[in-house]
Structure 1
């Protein structure tokens, strides 16, 4: 609402004319009030595919990386026991592998958890917004009834 419109509405109200609550909104079909699903849209299918891939990567990588770590540590132990310097280097690589693998596993878990949270939060936001707007509609309807509109 612009300043001129505000001043005009105040003048009309002072003269006893009825004014109504008006919400600024986009034209119907432009993603605003005319959109049946509102602006906050989360498609469960999209989230499910990404979340499923993250969970599958978490499970598979956890299993296979542990196998690689154990095999590398066994080989490193065998090489060290036979006096090869390569054994210590392989042991160092296996230790670093543990940290890197855990970082990737944490990231996969974070993605999966965040998507679940996002879906739930968007649903809650949409419900809150719908409740708030329906309350404004009820209030506006009450003003119309009182004024005989």
Structure 2
């Protein structure tokens, strides 16, 4: 194969890859006419706030309702039952203790995930607000008036 042939094949493969990448930039409408020509994900600040608040509320409910094994002052019914059964040499006492430990570990993991989601969305909301303010400040003239479209289009060339 000559250099020119190989070069042509590589260019054609790159063009195919580029067109595939461009096609994947939006959702396929399934052959029907699309109602929206935009392929961008749009998230409003209110959406982030609502999801973050729901994660926070879920965390509170899980913390209260999920702590069924310990009870007040580590003497919940599950812990008491496991201790009493183990003291009478029932093997189910150890199994119940293991079950309670696994339950608590899983509950802690789920609580951490809810807290992480809530905190991350709060941070994202604040960060996007700050970034929007920075962009607005950088896109304004020194006197505070809006930058004309002809000037903005220079940034995209």
Please tell me the TM-score bracket, short chain as reference.
0.5 to 0.7
In 1, the alpha carbon distance for the partners of 2:133 and 2:117 equals 24
Q: How far apart, CA to CA, are the structure 2 residues paired with 1:42 and 1:135?
A: 28
Unaligned runs of 5+ in 2: 1-36, 71-75, 149-157
How big is each residue's C-alpha offset from its partner over 1:78-116, in whole Å with a ceiling of 9 and x where there is no partner? 211222100001101111222111111111111111111
**8 Å Cα contact 2:49-2:125 kept in structure 1:** no
Question: C-alpha separation between the residues in 2 aligned to 1:48 and 1:73?
Answer: 39
Unaligned runs of 5+ in 1: 1-29, 32-38, 142-149
Alignment partners' CA distance in 2, 1:120 and 1:42: 14
User: How many residues were matched structurally?
Assistant: 105
Deviations 1:63-87 (A, max 9, x none): 1221234332222112112221000
Residue 82 (structure 1) aligns with: 88
Structure 2 length as normaliser, TM-score? 0.57
* Partner Cα separation in structure 1 for residue 108 and residue 125 of structure 2: 26
Aligned residues: CA RMSD: 2.9
Normalized against structure 1, the TM-score is what? Answer: 0.59
Look up the match of 2:48.
Answer: 47
**Cα distance between partner residues in 2 of 1:117 and 1:57:** 18
Q: Which has the larger radius of gyration?
A: 1
1:59 counterpart SS class: helix
Post-superposition Cα deviations, 1:36-88, rounded to whole Å, max 9, x if no partner, equal: xxx99652321232112211111111112212343322221121122210000
Greater relative CO, 1 or 2 (CA 8 Å, sep 6+): 1
3-state secondary structure, aligned to 1:135? coil
3-state SS of paired residue (2:66): helix
1:64-143 matches, within 5 Å, as 64-69=65-70, 70-135=76-141
